[in-house]
Structure 1
Amino acid sequence: MSQTATQDQVIQRIQSNPKYQRLRSVRNRFAWVLTILMLIVYYGYVGLIAFDKELLAKPIGAGVTTWGMPIGLGVILFTVVVTGIYVYRANTEFDAITEQILKEAQQ
């Protein structure tokens, strides 16, 4: 049997595995949730810039720093946190399931 035929069989076993179907569903849903959250945060910030410049230009207390700085920093930190959440889940849950699926397909 050729290597291509063997690879095709392994691919077919992977695609027909219920764990693979579940993994795809869970991973895609999770990615869409994170994507939507990111879009809300980024477009919300851009919306603030476009429609409420006065809020972002207001100084915090009697200082020089405006509200735009901590809100912008919050957007950046949110991005780092969301990325960390995805990486953690991908490296633990998703990778473990992927390894199981590959082992089952090679048998």
Structure 2
Amino acid sequence: MKMRKPRNFDAELKTLEDKARELKTRKVQQLGELVIATGADAFTVEELAGALIVLAETKEAGKREAWAKRGTAFFQRRSRRSAKETNRDAGGASAQPGGTQPASGGADAA
């Protein structure tokens, strides 16, 4: 009968902690990129924090829905602009094999 090798819980825990730290770092970076992309970096830290607090406290479904629609439109515009720039940098659609369009990255900040 074989004995199983004991699990190294400390190593597994460290791996999970490293992964959680990496995910948090990526989230912070993406939120910073979003603030810059929307032009919200022009606000003071206090103004931005106040606006975000109001957003977080808002429970009105209609307002949240309207904000979500504006956000969706923002990312669609960015996606289209990004695709046009990629297409222009590649020399147009005819430069792509078979005339296919490059895949768009979608919403890279959220």
Report 1 or 2 for greater relative contact order, CA contacts < 8 Å, sequence distance ≥ 6.
1
Normalising by structure 1, report the TM-score.
Answer: 0.32
Greater helix fraction, Structure 1 or Structure 2: 1
